[in-house]
Structure 1
Amino acid sequence: MSDSPDPDPGRLYDSRLKDLEDLKEEALHGLRESDDLREIKIHSITGRVKERGSFLEKIERKKYRDPMEDTEDLVGLRVVCLFTDDLPKLAKIIHDEFDVLDVEDKVSGADVASFGYMSQHYICRLRPEFHGRRYDRIKGRKFEIQCRTLLMDAWANLSHHLAYKGESSIPQDLRRDFHALSGLLYVADRQFQSLLSAARRSQDEAVQDVADAFQEGGDRPLDLSSMQAYLDRNLPGRMKTNPAHVSELVEEFAAVGILSIRQLDEKLSKGLSKALHVESTGYDFSQVGVVRTAVRVSDEGYAEFVRRKYPSAVEL
């Protein structure tokens, strides 16, 4: 969407600021409401309209003839995910939700020394089939979406604070440390992805291990994977709990010596009827709630632990 030439770019910016803010909100809404986004671990989705001074500086530096059309990042969105494998999934969502005009991939094939500048950039418009007063003023305008992992974003922000825009601006005596730290974060980013993949494999293995423990008289140490597999096997109709709360329960049991699936199953069996009775008096227990209540009944050591940790907990 090209605006009529205006000899005063600042006045042109001011006249279009409301449209730019509306475009930012509409683009954010389109991303956040995507059903597929729920399958990705997202740290943050943010948007901004380029500040007036930054806009004027850029068009002067770039010698733009049509400032509003040529400045493709007047509206910018940033999506920060947790894992590198989420970046291709974000790419698909962006192509599904918007009209993508250009893609700049600064991740695939980039040098490790460039870690601080890694991201994927998409120049987009709202899809042309959108009609109505809400869209007609803004759907032809370009906006940019940047996608990064959390560690890419952290390093980019630190680099920005140091004001190093590239290799040449880094003092010679700092370059080795700068590149070494960039490499460490690059390795950490890849290791987080490897850890996630290993955790998923552990969860799959735990499901079979827990089943074997009951069929063959075996056992397995309690950890997040085995605890979740146990809950899903023995309390399938119950509401699942945030994995962080499941992990917290594992830590609580470890503190009082409940360390294996077999031990947990014995404690749950002894206290389950009382836990269900407590629930019938007006509670609606999740998987973790049932287990925590049952073990409080059957294990005095854990009951005392709960009294100390949660002083306001209802006495059983």
Structure 2
Amino acid sequence: MTETDIIIVGAGPIGLACGIEAKKNGLSYVIIEKGALVNSLYNYPLNMTFFSTSERLEIGNVPFMTVNSKPTRTEALEYYRRVTSQWSLNVKLFESVENIKANGDEYIVKTSKSEYKSSNVIICTGFYDIPHLMDVPGEDLPKVTHYYKDPNFYAFQKVLVVGASNSAVDAAMETWRKGADVTIVVREKEIGQRVKYWVKPDIENRIKEGSIKAYFSSSIDSITDNTVSIKTPEGIKTIDNDWVIAMTGYQPNLAFLEKIGINLSKDKIMKPEYSETSMETNMPNVYLAGVVCGGMNTHSLFIENSRVHAEQIVQSILNKR
């Protein structure tokens, strides 16, 4: 069994920042990640551009140099790989954390490959792993995906995109540019206000000119192998369809937090209980960092405004010593 001062769950940007902060202060640590390095970023669409500028995504005092002010997914993957290498971070990849149990004043972290022991645990698991389901007939068909990757796959196909956020708009625009026949279904009356300012006019103009068909104030009723039925203000509309890209959002693994003993608020936000100063939860010496802190409110925290969590947590650990 490996024993360290800190066990960090999740090797996203915030998990890496926690590792850097631990190393800077002479604390032993291990970062455990169930997938690839910065796994959520790896699973972003191939052509994605961040809303934030590169300097706001920097960690560990490593400059993030990009061609344009707003980095791409590819640039971000290379940057965080370079940070990991430059700081020689102790990262265990493709190793899932299965349980965290108290053992006196310490915690035993059981993974798919090993067991670890530590007095301190930091959970930085993000929110990209569990999609919000539409709960409609046919959602489990192979033609339906909640993750969008490469527009070339959808060339010359009938594609329906669900949602009005950045991910949905990117999927609609990119597949349309590759020759897909695109329809977008939006629950609200208009495209989302948080859509990137340089993209929003583009999708609105494509809808206005009829290049992309749009159903507003609408939702999916059912999906079959060859069609999709849509609930619209005018009634059910059934259209021919090859693929459904359901960009309906994602949620953190709150069930895991609850399983190990972290309290969640009783409202629909289900926000975990933690100190805003130290980031310590109701479980002694178990900390949260990054977007997981927001519960279901996944738009409240980002890389740029949660990098500071690493410093807060490590300072709390040092203060206790």
TM over 0.5: no
TM-score normalised per structure 2:
0.24
- Structure number with greater CO (CA < 8 Å, separation at least 6) is 2
Structure showing greater radius of gyration is 1
Structure with higher strand content: 2
Please, what TM-score do these two structures have when normalized by structure 1?
A: 0.24
User: Which has more helix, going by share of residues?
Assistant: 1
